[in-house]
Amino acid sequence: MAVVTNTKKTSATNLWMIIFAVFAVLGAVCWGLQLTKGLQMTNLGTDNMWGLYIVGFMIFTGIAAGSLLFAAVPYLFKLEEFKPYTRIASYLGAVASVVAASLFIIVDIGNPERVWLFITSGNWSSPMFWDFIMLASYMVISIMFTRKLILLNEGKIEEKSVKGLALVAFAAGILVTVTSFVFSFQVARPLWNTPAQPLSFLIAALAAALAVMMILSHILNKSGYIKMPIGLLAKMGKLTAALLCIELIIVITEILIGLYPGSGEDYAAFIWLVTGKGAVSFWLEMVALVTAIVLLAKQGTSPKAGLLLGGAIIALIAIYLIKSNLLQAQLFNPLITLPGTPVYGGTTEPYVPSLLEMGLSIGILSLGALLLNLGFGKLNLGTTADTRKL
């Protein structure tokens, strides 16, 4: 009987892998189109020169950092119950997220064939260059950490030998605040130019990583790769809800502070967001945030896996909207708004990604999913004897 179930699972997994592979190929086709026809294929423009790809980059850097924290904290603060899942978190940080984040940057830039200039001509005063170094170190740290955790699980090394690397991973995770510097260090962008941003980035990173871990655990529980008790999932849900509450407070206070004076550059941007062209997306963000918080926090005495899964998915949507709305509200409301000679790529507000941008992004996500599955299949990351049979 057990054999039959396994076969069924295997074929379902295979089907998913085929779907992901097809989407990854589709993404590659979209990229090819974008490369040959130019970034005019996107809905980006002179004002909104950054869009979906940059938000994808922010979120996946966040997931990478959050996963590193998730993997490191149990060893530093002795949280025994989470230890079995740190291998998955570390691998998620190592491969899928860093690769996805890097790909989002690669597809965003006009001349990807020149990326080597990051190495030969890196500018130490550029926060984007710092991000490049961060992503590279995330990759190295999490690969090393994943390896150690696997060895630990196999009983080949002692737990104390993991501590040092856990500390490094923890520090690297906290340093995700550096990602926010790309935005928060810009004097030209007052909405981002605030100390709330680094904090908001750190919290969003943790929340996003927890949400992805919850979704993954749900899937892997079903396939028998791991056996995570529902109580543990519920705990992760509550923590995510608490983090989202802080995000909600940051978003609302920022808006109130901007709106209160009744005029000025912050006012213009926030009124655009709350009642202007950005309103639909903003109110969706509010609904998503509150729904995710309620679903994840209010679980009663017997938590339901389905509700937790729903909460985690909505939490990710909320985080996407937070980042995307903040980006747009600022880009569509630059410091100089006087009308003048029209240029190519003039403003069409609000920004909605083009089909090509969406296709390419789904392609990157699918590639990430394929890499995850490859890891689950080839490496010993799970907690049950079944692990290699996913």
> Could you say whether residue 79 binds another protein (CB under 8 A)?
no
Distance between CA atoms of residues 115 and 214, nearest Å: 34
| Least separation in angstroms between CB 62 and another protein | 19
Written as one string, the DSSP assignment of 63-98 is HHHHHHHHHHHHHHTT-GGGGGGHHHHHHIIIIIIH
Of 186 and 383, the one with the shorter C-beta distance to another protein is 186
Identify residues 88-107 at the interface with another protein (CB under 8 A): 105
Of 35 and 317, the one with the shorter C-beta distance to another protein is 35
Quote the tokens at residue 218.
Answer: 């749900």
Of 180 and 217, the one with the shorter C-beta distance to another protein is 180
> Could you say whether residue 161 binds another protein (CB under 8 A)?
no
| Least separation in angstroms between CB 58 and another protein | 13
> Is the separation of the CB atoms in 216 and 267 below 8 Å?
no
Neighbours of 61 (CB within 10 A): 29
Name the phi and psi angles at 351, rounded to 5: -80, 125
Neighbours of 385 (CB within 10 A): 8
Rg (alpha carbons) of the chain, rounded to whole number: 21
> Could you say whether residue 336 binds another protein (CB under 8 A)?
yes
- The b-or-e profile of 80-103 (16+ CB within 10 A means b, else e) is eebbbbbbbbbbbbbbbbbbbbbb
The residue range among 109-117, 238-246, 252-260, 312-320 that interacts with another protein, by the rule CB under 8 A, is 109-117
Measured at the CA of 53, the angle between CA 365 and CA 26, to 5 degrees, comes to 45
Per-residue x/- track, 283-322, another protein (CB under 8 A) = ----------------------------------------
Distance between CA atoms of residues 213 and 207, nearest Å: 10
| Least separation in angstroms between CB 237 and another protein | 36
> Could you say whether residue 254 binds another protein (CB under 8 A)?
no
| Least separation in angstroms between CB 361 and another protein | 17
Compute how many residues bind another protein; rule: CB under 8 A: 47
Of 112 and 164, the one with the shorter C-beta distance to another protein is 112
| Least separation in angstroms between CB 105 and another protein | 8
> Could you say whether residue 344 binds another protein (CB under 8 A)?
yes
The residue type of 13 is T
Neighbours of 140 (CB within 10 A): 13
E strand or H helix that includes residue 298: none
Which of 20, 23, 99, 108 lies at the binding interface for another protein (CB under 8 A)?
A: 108
Distance between CA atoms of residues 68 and 250, nearest Å: 24
Identify residues 31-50 at the interface with another protein (CB under 8 A): 37-40, 44-47, 49-50
Distance between CA atoms of residues 172 and 70, nearest Å: 12
Which of 12, 25, 343, 355 lies at the binding interface for another protein (CB under 8 A)?
A: 343
Distance between CA atoms of residues 347 and 281, nearest Å: 17
> Could you say whether residue 345 binds another protein (CB under 8 A)?
yes
> Could you say whether residue 276 binds another protein (CB under 8 A)?
no
Per-residue x/- track, 175-214, another protein (CB under 8 A) = -------x---xxxx-------------------------
Identify residues 110-129 at the interface with another protein (CB under 8 A): 110-112, 114-115, 117-118, 121-123, 125-129
Q: For binding to another protein (CB under 8 A), which residues are involved?
A: 37-40, 44-47, 49-50, 105, 108-112, 114-115, 117-118, 121-123, 125-129, 132, 182, 186-189, 331, 334-345
